[in-house]
A and B are shown apart, each in its own frame.
Chain A
Amino acid sequence: MPKKFNRFVLPLFLAMVFLALPFFLEGTTWGFLVRILGVMGLYGILALGLNLVLGYVGLLDLGFMAFYAIGAYTTAVLSLRGWNFWFCLPASALMAMGVRTVLGAPVLRLRGDYLAVVTLGFGEITRITLNNWDSLTRGPQGISLLSAAVPPLRFFGYSLYTNTHFFYLIFAFLAMAWLVCRRLDRSRIGRAWIAIREDETAARSMGIHVARLKNVAFTISAGFAGVAGALFARWENFVTPESFTFWESALLVAMVVLGGMGSLPGVLLGVAMIVGLPEFLRADLFSRWGGGQMVNARYLIFGALLVGAALFRPEGVWPRSRRKD
C-alpha cells in the first residue's frame, strides 16, 4: 500500500496542488510566480528535449536554442500571415525537426568535443541569420504579434492570452513531453540510445545502427524545441534574436547535467533550480534578508550552489535510478 501511495497517489496530489497554484497566486503580490512557473515549464520542455541527445545518447549539444528559435520564428512568421496557432505549432515542430535532420546527417559523424563545437557554431549561425534576414525576420527589431492581422489564440472557443492561460497550456505540453520521454526511455530505442552513450563500439556490435539512432534522437529533440518555441512566440507575442543566445544553450546544458543526465525528474529539478533560483532569490521576501543585499548577491549564491552540486552530486541532484521492472 505505501508503495502504491508513493508511486501514484502522492504524485497525483502534488500535481493537483501545483495545477491549482494560479488560482491562489493570481491577483496577489505573488502573481509574478505564475509567469516564472510558465517560463520554467518552457525550459522544462526544452530540457527534456535536450536530455534525449545529451542525457541518453551522450551527445554534447551547445546550440540547442537554435531550434527553439526556429520554432518561435516559424510561428511568428506564419501568425503574421494569418495562420491559426494550432497549425503554427506542428509547423514549428516540423520545421525544427527538418532543419535538424539535414544538419544531423553530416554533423553526427563527429564525436565529443567536435560535435559540441559544430552545434555551438550552428546556434550562432542561426541567431546571426535571424538578426540579418530583414525581409523575413525584421532583423534585430524582432517580430511583434500584437497586430490586428494576427488571429487570437483560441482553444475550443476560449481565447488564451493571460499568464495563467499559458501556464496551463505550457504544462499540458510539458506533460506530453514527459510522457513521450518516459515511453521512449522504456523501450528498445531508449535502451539502444543509452547503450550508445555507454559504449558506442559495443553498441555497434550488438547490431545497433548507431548513425541512424543518433539521428532519430537528434531529430525528435528538435521537435520538443520547436513546440516550446511556438508556445513562447504566442505567449510573449514578440520574438527577437536576442532571446536565443549561446548563454541560453549553455544554461540548458547546465540544467540537464545538474539535475541528472538521463533522469527525467532530475532534468526538471535542474530546470527548477537554474531558472527558478535566481528569480526566487530576487523575490520580495528573500530580498529583505541581509539588509536588502540578497538581490545583488543572488548570482553569487546561485553560483555557489552550482559548484556545490557539481562537487557533492557529480551524477546530478536526482540521478537516473536503476529501475526494477
Chain B
Amino acid sequence: MKLLSATGITKRFGGLTALDSVDLSLNAGEIVSVIGPNGAGKTTLFNVLTGFYSVDAGAITFSGERIDDLPVHRITKRGIARTFQNIRLFGSMTALENVMVGRHCRTRSELAAALFRTPAFYREEREIAHSSLEHLKSVGLGDQAQTPARHLSYGDQRRLEIARALATEPRLLLLDEPNAGMNSQESGVLMETLLRIRREGVTLLLIEHAMRVVMGVSDRVVVLEDGRKIAEGTPAEVQINSQVIEAYLGVPAGSDA
C-alpha cells in the first residue's frame, strides 16, 4: 500500500535548483534511505515533505490526500514527524518535557481547561506524562527524564529527538542522519531501535551517510545527486550501480565519459 507518493518535486532557491523533479514513493512499513553527496538535496527533500518549504512544482500525496500546500503543524497532525540534522531540542526543558511537547498535536486542552483545571484537563495531563515517559523509556532514556535536554550527551540528544518525534504518533518518520556522531556500539543500538519502530507500524525514511546503517536496515535506497534522483533500488543493486559509484568516487582515470 502506498503511504507517500511524491511526483515531480522541484524546489528552486533563486538560480539553484535544489530538487529537480524528484519522484519518491514509500510503501507502508518500509525503511527507505536517501543517500547522496553533500549538497545533493537530501535535507531539502525532508523540508519539502514536512512542509517547511513549499514546492515549486510537483505534488505530494500522503495516504491518499494532497499535503503539499499544508502548513507544517497540519502535516505533523496528519502523521509525518521528523528529526533534524543539527539536533533541535528544547534545551532548557527536561527530557520528559521535550517529549511532552511532542504530545501537543494529539491532545486538546485549551486555555479554559488549563485555567479552570477541569477533570478532563487532569486526565489529559496524566496521559501526556505517562505516554511521554513510555516513549522516553523506549529509546533508553527513562532514567534521564528530569535532565535538562542540553545537559544530555550527544547520543542521548539524538535518541531524545527520536522519542519526541514518536510522541506525535507518526505513521511516517523522517530521520535526518540519526547515526551522526555515534560510535559503533551506539549505532548497533540505533539500528535495533529503527527496526523496532518499523515493527510498531511506522514507515521510516532516513538520510544517512553511514553505509553500515544504510545497508543494514534499508529495504530500498534512493540516491540523489545535484537535486536529481540518479538511482533507486535495493541496497545490493545500488551498491553496484555505476552512476552511484561515479557520484561518490568520480570517473575512473582514462575513461572518456
Contact = CB atoms under 8 A, between A and B. Distances in A.
B199 interface: no
A194 interface: yes
A220 B111 CA distance: 10
A210 B74 CA distance: 11
B168 A207 contact: yes
If over half of A's interface residues share one DSSP class (helix, strand or loop), that class is named, otherwise mixed; here it is helix
B91 A198 contact: yes
Given A199-B90, A322-B146, A207 B73 contact: yes
Nearest to B87: A202
A181 B84 CA distance: 32
A216 B111 contact: yes
Contacts of B212: none
Which of A180, A192, A208, A324 counts the most B-chain CB atoms under 10 A from its CB?
A208
B101 A187 contact: no
B72 A194 contact: no
Interface stretch (B23-31, B114-122, B233-241, B246-254): B114-122
Contact of B115 (A184, A188, A198, A209): A184
Contacts of B52: 201, 204-205
Most B Cβ at <10 Å: residue of A192, A194, A206: A206
B121 A207 contact: no
A207 B77 contact: yes
A262 to B, nearest CB: 8
Interface stretch (B10-18, B34-42, B92-100, B181-189): B92-100
Nearest to B129: A325
B102 interface: yes
A89 interface: no
Given A189-B114, A322-B146, A207 B105 contact: yes
B219 interface: no
Given A183-B117, A187-B114, A322-B146, A192 B101 contact: yes
A290 to B, nearest CB: 42
Interface in B99-149: 100-107, 109-111, 113-115, 117, 121, 124-125, 128, 146, 148
Contact of B73 (A184, A188, A194, A210): A210
A220 B114 CA distance: 13
Contacts of A206: 73, 76, 101-102, 104-105, 164, 168
Interface string B177-212: 000000000000000000000000000000000000
A208 B114 contact: no
Contacts of A180: 115
A137 B127 CA distance: 52
A191 B128 CA distance: 12
A44 interface: no
Interface string A204-228: 1111111000001000100000000
Given A189-B110, A191-B100, A202 B50 contact: no
A205 B50 contact: yes
A112 B34 CA distance: 35
Contacts of B81: 205
A252 interface: no
A180 B114 CA distance: 9
Given A190-B114, A205-B82, A207-B73, 8 more contacts: A183-B117, A188-B124, A191-B93, A191-B104, A202-B88, A202-B90, A206-B105, A322-B146
Interface of A: 180, 183-184, 187-192, 194-195, 198-199, 201-210, 216, 220, 320, 322, 324
15 contacts: A180-B115, A189-B114, A191-B97, A191-B100, A195-B90, A198-B89, A199-B89, A199-B90, A201-B88, A204-B52, A206-B76, A209-B73, A210-B73, A320-B92, A322-B93
